[in-house]
Amino acid sequence: MELLKERSVILMMKKNKIFSNILISCLLVSLTPLISSCAIERMIGCLSKEKLNIYNWGEYMDYATIESFEEKYNVCVNISTFPDNETVITKMRLQSFDIIFPSEVAVQQLVEEDRLEELDWSKIIVTNKDGQEVAFDSQRDLINPLYNHLQIMKNEQDFDYLKYAAPYFFQNITLVYNSDVISKEEIEEKQWDILRTPEYKGAMRESSRDAFMVALKQLGYSSNTTNLDEIAQAEQWLKQQKDTMGTQIAYLIDEVIDDVPNGLYDVAMVFSGDAFTIMDANSSINFYNPEKGTDICWDGMIIPKNAQNKEMAYKFISHMLSYENGLLNTEWVGYTSPLKEVYNDVMANLEDERLINVYSVITSPKDEVYKYDGPTKQAIESAWSRVKAS
């Protein structure tokens, strides 16, 4: 069984930003002269077919899974992509989608705003590794770290995530660093402060939530604080970082996947799934989860209340939670599968200890899952605007 594709091919194809709404078969031919004819041919072919409209993060799905779904159900899947959760929340007010893939904290906000369908798990039937069709069972089928965090969220935050969303990928925020430039001892000593060390070129995630998590954790506070004084201290930490680093710090999203292996940055905060891809592309890159703590997070599949094709959406969720497609997806994207059968097979076939450790999403007692709080979110977003303007 081929559990990992050639990473150079994956990286090359991830750079193509024209996947949306075009079948993978259209992309595997000479692109420039044929895109328009291919798109027109697909448009004509879809006129008489049922449609499923998906809204997902960019570069976050193996398009072979889409192709097989379209063939199985004689449906046309239209995919739009978004860069962050804020775009999702805004776009949902303007447009209808059948399935969306937001992060766990956005799911909490959307539930609070009464915009999500409660999932009927009796409609989610998956095909396991043995080829058997079975009803999905979260305790049996989800990896233990994710299942445990879902229970913590339910018990401590009073939020039943599985009532509204099906897990898609599991991850944490970690540091990747060039071990030829930065020693393990230094990064262990400085923790998140390594991103305020002007001797190194660093990259922060372009995200208010994630940037403030780093500052709050380094200061010894909870990333779920509602204390405005602590948020003000975190704002000052980030302003000092910007002043200290100058041109040595960048605020990025997907660019780090290519830039870090190519040596443009010495250290960067990234999602662990991106760390997997970065480390696989460059053997000098390693990762470190600061002992000060980090964010444990996951993305999931939700059905909005205004979805136009809810029954087909359930079929798609079942499709993506089945073993074969879960394996294809994690091979392609590099993020940790929430599916226990897939996770166990990937771990059994990895040989690089660095990749084994980052794929396993090691957690510590100081790690947290974000809890949505409207006033705190607004306070952090306002503070982040001031940081960026400083």
336-350 pLDDT, tens digit per residue, is 999 999 999 999 999
Coil, strand or helix: which one is 275? Answer: helix
> Average pLDDT in the 380-389 region?
97
The upper half-sphere exposure of residue 264, i.e. CA atoms within 13 Å in the direction of its Cβ, equals 13
Listed in order, the ranges of the chain carrying CATH 3.40.190.10 are 7-170+299-351, 171-295+364-389
Q: One-letter amino acid identity for 177?
A: Y
Neighbouring CB atoms inside 10 A of 293's CB total: 23
104-128 pLDDT, tens digit per residue, is 999 999 999 999 999 999 999 999 9
> Average pLDDT in the 41-59 region?
87
The fold of 7-170+299-351 is: D-Maltodextrin-Binding Protein; domain 2 (3.40.190)
What is the pLDDT at residue 14?
A: 43
Q: Name the nearest CA neighbour of 87 among 61, 53, 114, 58.
A: 58
- CA-to-CA dists, residue 280 to 8, 239, 245, 276, 358, angstroms: 9, 33, 28, 6, 11
Residue 5 has pLDDT above 70, yes or no: no
Do 87 and 44 form a contact (C-beta atoms < 8 A)?
no
Pairing outcome for strands 267-271 and 202-205: parallel
Residue 39 has pLDDT above 60, yes or no: yes
The fold of 171-295+364-389 is: D-Maltodextrin-Binding Protein; domain 2 (3.40.190)
What is the pLDDT at residue 44?
A: 76
Distance CA 160, CA 202 (A): 37
What is the pLDDT at residue 126?
A: 98
Residue 25 has pLDDT above 70, yes or no: no
What are φ and ψ of residue 191, in 5° steps?
55, -135
Residue 17 has pLDDT above 70, yes or no: no
Reading the block at residue 375, the tokens are 């006033």
Residue 74 has pLDDT above 70, yes or no: yes
Q: Which residues of 95-124 are buried (b: 16+ CB within 10 A; e: fewer)?
A: eebbbbbbbbbbbbbbbeeebbeebebeeb
Residue 7 has pLDDT above 50, yes or no: no
Residue 16 has pLDDT above 90, yes or no: no
Distance CA 21, CA 39 (A): 8
> Average pLDDT in the 8-29 region?
39
Reading the block at residue 167, the tokens are 């897990």
> Average pLDDT in the 35-64 region?
83
Band (pLDDT 50/70/90 cuts) for residue 103 is very high
> Average pLDDT in the 79-91 region?
94
362-384 pLDDT, tens digit per residue, is 888 999 999 999 999 999 999 99
